[in-house]
A = this chain, B = another copy of it.
Amino acid sequence: MPQATGVKFQLHPTFLATSETVGDLRLCHVRIQADARWPWAVLIPRIAGAREFEDLSAADRAILMEEVVLAGAAVRAAGQALGQQVEKLNVGQLGNLTPQLHIHMVGRRIDDAAWPGPVWGVGVAEAYDPKTLSVAMAALREALRV
């Protein structure tokens, strides 16, 4: 069981190349995906060795669900700050490539680059310009209170 290993949580290095730090909630480290096509947060429970929801305790899973809802509101707020009306949240826990439990929270619009399909693996990430990234980051941080 991951909680019992005594191994300290370390962020998988893959996230460093694709996202930037937003802050830490009670359970999850939160990042913003470095892709200006969508307001997109990534939640990573700070539990060493976890790959699936079943690797968390039931108590941590309940916290995670509430952090998912909070992060959804934050993604909506980031979309609004960017002038993008989020019509639907997409929540995904896949982890086929990155072997560390993480949850994608993606704000979708009916005119976005992948609608109505999923965003994962679609096209190439568009880098944020620094000013736009700071607007999105500020909106996420305000909504998450981090």
Whether A118 contacts B115 by the Cβ 8 Å rule is no
Interface of A is mostly: mixed
Whether B91 contacts A108 by the Cβ 8 Å rule is no
A124 contacts B by Cβ under 8 Å: no
Q: What chain B residues lie within 8 Å of A115 (beta carbons)?
A: 96
Chain B CB within 10 Å, residue with most, of A97, A108, A115, A117: A117
- Partner of A118 from B68, B89, B94, B108 at Cβ < 8 Å: B94
The complex is assembled from copies of this chain, and their number is 2
Whether A69 contacts B54 by the Cβ 8 Å rule is yes
Q: What chain B residues lie within 8 Å of A116 (beta carbons)?
A: 96-97
- Partner of A53 from B54, B68, B96, B97 at Cβ < 8 Å: B68
Give the residues from 20 to 72 in chain A that come closer than 8 angstroms, CB to CB, to chain B.
51-54, 58, 61-62, 64-66, 68-69, 72
Q: Which residue of B lies closest to A103 (CB)?
A: B91
Q: What chain B residues lie within 8 Å of A58 (beta carbons)?
A: 66
